[in-house]
């Protein structure tokens, strides 16, 4: 086999034009498919790294219909499907007393961050006491904001931050890898969190401005939770027909909510680049077939000297493998640039952009694509119609 590769390298070195075109063609196909596979994993297949992320769900008044405060309290108190259930509202904060910086964050009830299952790097979550009317103001920072404003000081817990015109005590810092995934913040990054007090609006049922996030109990399916919430919703419709008659109430997975608008487009794009790679394989197979036709004399001599058909197949496959791995090297180099382009043009949060990378799975995909490419390009020239025929 090693002698076959030596012959292959010598043969390809003599046909530089053919080798360059073949490697470049395969490189573009492998590179493009690897880039889109990385995006597919980061945006659709495995977009989150939360503990038991399949248990994270959104609870709605209807399809993309947020909660009213009164409905939230009723469902939270009457449901048993969730270990944590809270609501939140995105909010832009002014941070600092002089030259205040506008920071996107969220006002949340105590269970929202707890539902994600990612403990703070420093400090604690919010508690129910933090939500009470008149409670001392507290805030939790993102890792990036902690680094930016406090230089990563580990003693930041208990310090004060000037927030929207008054001081708030810092009680927590989230880890660097934590992402506050929200259907309302698909393209933006949440930098801090403050408690959301709903006591004064507890009876408000006609105003809908709260997004519900929950974590399912172990063993409870989304369908079970959805059925329970719908049952509670029907009771509320009977009690409050003026405000709740049209409310369906439903439970959907975080994964569904965060991928519903892009899933089809990304899969279509992946299918397109896969088709492009198959076309590239077909083109290389045709080039190898034409090249093989010019080498019939050489193959005939080899057959006359005792070379078996299997050996001729090995020669062609070794040539296809060398071209495919050359294409993979070019493709990975192109993929590095392609990832930067995808990150720049895709309207997603910084965390999602960072997740689109050439990690181990992407490299494994590139290796698999390379081997498949070698087979698809190398086998057709050695099928019966392409094999040399002995003369009687």
Which pLDDT value is given to residue 389? 45
Contact 112, 91 (CB under 8 A): no
Which pLDDT value is given to residue 390? 42
Nearest 5°: CA angle at 337, between 334 and 339?
Answer: 105
The structural domains of the chain, with segments of one domain joined by +, span 2-48+262-386, 62-248
**Cα 289 from chain centroid?**
40
DSSP reduced 3-state for 252: strand
The string of pLDDT tens digits covering residues 181-207 is 999 998 889 999 999 999 889 899 999
Chain-wide mean pLDDT for the chain? 87
Which pLDDT value is given to residue 18? 85
* Residue numbers of the chain with a pLDDT score lower than 70: 1-5, 7, 291-316, 378-392
User: What's the rounded Cα separation, in Å, for the pair 230 and 250?
Assistant: 6
Which pLDDT value is given to residue 138? 97
Number of neighbours of residue 392 by Cβ within 10 angstroms:
3
Which pLDDT value is given to residue 12? 79
The string of pLDDT tens digits covering residues 333-389 is 999 999 999 988 888 888 888 889 988 888 999 989 888 888 877 665 545 544 444
User: What's the rounded Cα separation, in Å, for the pair 56 and 254?
Assistant: 6
Contact 171, 86 (CB under 8 A): no
């Amino acid at each position: 086999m090693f002698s076959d590769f030596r012959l292959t390298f010598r043969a390809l070195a003599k046909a530089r034009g053919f080798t360059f075109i073949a490697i470049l063609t395969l490189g573009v196909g492998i590179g493009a498919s690897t880039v889109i596979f990385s995006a597919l994993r980061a945006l659709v297949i495995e977009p989150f790294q939360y503990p038991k992320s399949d248990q994270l769900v959104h609870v709605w008044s209807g399809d993309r219909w947020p909660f009213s405060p009164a409905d939230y309290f009723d469902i939270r108190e009457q449901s048993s499907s969730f270990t944590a259930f809270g609501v939140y509202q995105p909010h832009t904060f002014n941070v600092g007393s002089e030259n205040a910086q506008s920071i996107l964050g969220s006002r949340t009830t105590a269970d929202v961050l707890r539902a994600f299952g990612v403990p703070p790097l420093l400090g604690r979550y919010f508690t129910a006491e933090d939500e009470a009317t008149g409670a001392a103001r507290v805030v939790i920072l993102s890792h990036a904001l902690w680094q930016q404003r406090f230089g990563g000081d580990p003693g930041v817990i208990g310090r004060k931050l000037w927030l929207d015109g008054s001081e708030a005590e810092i009680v927590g810092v989230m880890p660097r890898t934590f992402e506050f995934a929200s259907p309302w913040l698909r393209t933006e990054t949440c930098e801090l969190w403050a408690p959301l007090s709903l006591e004064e609006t507890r009876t408000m049922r006609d105003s809908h401005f709260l997004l519900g996030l929950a974590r399912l109990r172990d063993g409870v399916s989304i369908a079970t939770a959805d059925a329970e919430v719908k049952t509670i919703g029907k009771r509320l419709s009977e009690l409050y027909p003026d405000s709740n008659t049209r409310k369906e109430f439903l439970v959907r997975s975080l994964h569904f909510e965060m991928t519903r608008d892009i899933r089809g487009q990304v899969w279509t794009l992946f299918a397109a680049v896969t088709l492009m790679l198959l076309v590239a394989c077909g083109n290389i197979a045709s080039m190898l077939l034409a090249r093989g036709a010019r080498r019939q004399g050489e193959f005939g001599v080899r057959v006359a000297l005792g070379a078996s058909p299997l050996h001729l197949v090995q020669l062609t496959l070794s040539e296809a493998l060398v071209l495919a791995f050359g294409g993979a090297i070019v493709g990975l180099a192109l993929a590095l640039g392609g990832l930067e382009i995808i990150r720049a043009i895709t309207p997603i949060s910084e965390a999602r952009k960072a997740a689109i990378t050439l990690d181990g799975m992407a490299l494994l995909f590139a290796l698999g694509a390379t081997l498949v490419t070698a087979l698809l390009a190398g086998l057709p020239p050695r099928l019966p119609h392409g094999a040399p025929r002995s003369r009687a």
